[in-house]
Amino acid sequence: MKFLERRLLHAILLLIGASLLCFLFSTLAPGSYFDEMKLNPQISSATVAALRSQYGLDQPLPLRYEHWVKSVLHGEWGYSFAYNLPVRGLVVVRARNTLLLTSLAAALAWLIAIPLGVWTASRPGQWEDRLSMAGTSFLLSVPELVVALGLLYCVIRTHALPVGGMVSADHDSLGLWGRVRDLSAHLIVPVATLVLASLPILIRHVRASMMEVLQAPFIQSARGHGIGRMTLLFRYALPAAANPLISLFGLSVAGLLSGSLLVEVISGWPGLGPLLLEACLSRDFYVVVGVVTASTLFMILGSLLADVMLAMADPRVRMDNV
């Protein structure tokens, strides 16, 4: 329990650090959302000043930060200038969509990577192994941007799947089964992009750590006892190779999150990515801070989850940290 507490405290400190950093960077900004209003002759400069003070933009940085922290504790997360709404409502809806996308992609990517990595590790140098190495090398050097654009091209060309958004226009009129089908049709392109982009690293890591374990003496002796190939690989070798992979799981969440920004923008998925891009272009400061903090929260949760899983899987880790 002590272990979990320490990790949680660490996570909270990191979150505070991230939001502080955001505020610090914002002081570099020469302009703000209301600057464009100054160009409009119908709005007096007094109105602009009043708006600025209403949103607390005329206050010094420490005060602004304090104000923001209070607003987070009230469950508002600051106020969006462009939407004229509390940020939390905006971010939570979008974050849910991003979470749906990334968690599906993460699950799928690992489901593919583990068998493939184990299989290629069990036959090093064979044609399957070489093929997978060549494939991963190639995929590794194709950026997500290109994968997303390529998939989008195929989809638009073949009219196989709906493009853009999360649901079709007639979504509400469909039955439950129809809704699920509609949603999954929209999910295919972004999920496939994320899986393709994250797969090569995962396969390589699974293969590398399996290779290492397969050379251990206990595998030799298990083989000598006549234990079947599949049992040997998945029951004996994989758990022994799991530690670095569990740590990688935390990192892979991070990679997926950064990747999903781009994929969401390109395939029109209403997640955090498009919201952040919009807020960046219109300098909607609190939305930017809210999105960055939310995505940092996801990353921290990812690594926290990995830590907890690691502690459950390996008693040595638990002992070290107490």
Partner 1 sequence: MTSRRKVIGASSFLLALHLAILFAGFIAPSDPASQNRDFPFAPPTRLHFVDAQGRFHLRPFIYQTEPAPEGLYEYLENRAQAYTVRFFVSGPKYKVAGLLPLHTHLFGVDSPAQIFLAGSDSYGRDQFSRILYGGQISLAAGLLAAGISLLLGLLVGCVSGFYAGWIDESAMRLAELFLVLPWLYVLLAIRSFLPLHVSPAETFFLLVAVIGTIGWARPARLIRGIVLSAKMRKYVTASRGFGASDAYILRRHVLPHAYGTLLTQAALLVPQYVIAEVTLSFLGLGLSEPMPSWGNLLANLQQYSVLVSYWWMFLPALALVLVSLGYLAVADAFHQQLQSGSM
| Contact in structure between 45 and 38 (CB atoms under 8 Å) | yes
Residue from 70, 93, 138, 320 touching partner 1 (CB under 8 A): that is 138
Stretch that binds partner 1, among 147-155, 165-173, 212-220, 228-236 (CB under 8 A): 147-155
140 binds partner 1, rule: CB under 8 A: yes
Binding mask 228-257 for partner 1 (x = CB under 8 A): --------------------------x--x
CA–CA separation, 95 vs 296, rounded Å?
12
CA–CA separation, 34 vs 67, rounded Å?
19
Phi, psi of 79 (to 5 degrees): -125, 135
Residue from 97, 122, 252, 303 touching partner 1 (CB under 8 A): that is 303
CA–CA separation, 42 vs 78, rounded Å?
27
281 binds partner 1, rule: CB under 8 A: yes
289 binds partner 1, rule: CB under 8 A: yes
265 binds partner 1, rule: CB under 8 A: yes
From residue 311, give the alpha-carbon distance in Å to each of 9, 153, 205, 277. 17, 44, 20, 37
- In the bound state with partner 1, the residue whose beta carbon lies nearer, of 99 and 254, is 254
97 binds partner 1, rule: CB under 8 A: no
CA–CA separation, 195 vs 312, rounded Å?
27
Of 169, 184, 197, 204, nearest to 261 (Cα)? 197
Q: How many CA atoms lie within 13 A of 45 on its CB side?
A: 0
CA–CA separation, 181 vs 167, rounded Å?
10
Stretch that binds partner 1, among 174-182, 186-194, 237-245, 286-294 (CB under 8 A): 286-294
Binding site for partner 1 (CB under 8 A): 14, 17-18, 21-22, 25-26, 28-31, 137-138, 140-143, 145-146, 149-150, 152-153, 156-157, 163, 254, 257-259, 261-262, 265-266, 272, 276-277, 279-281, 283, 288-289, 291-292, 295-296, 298-300, 303
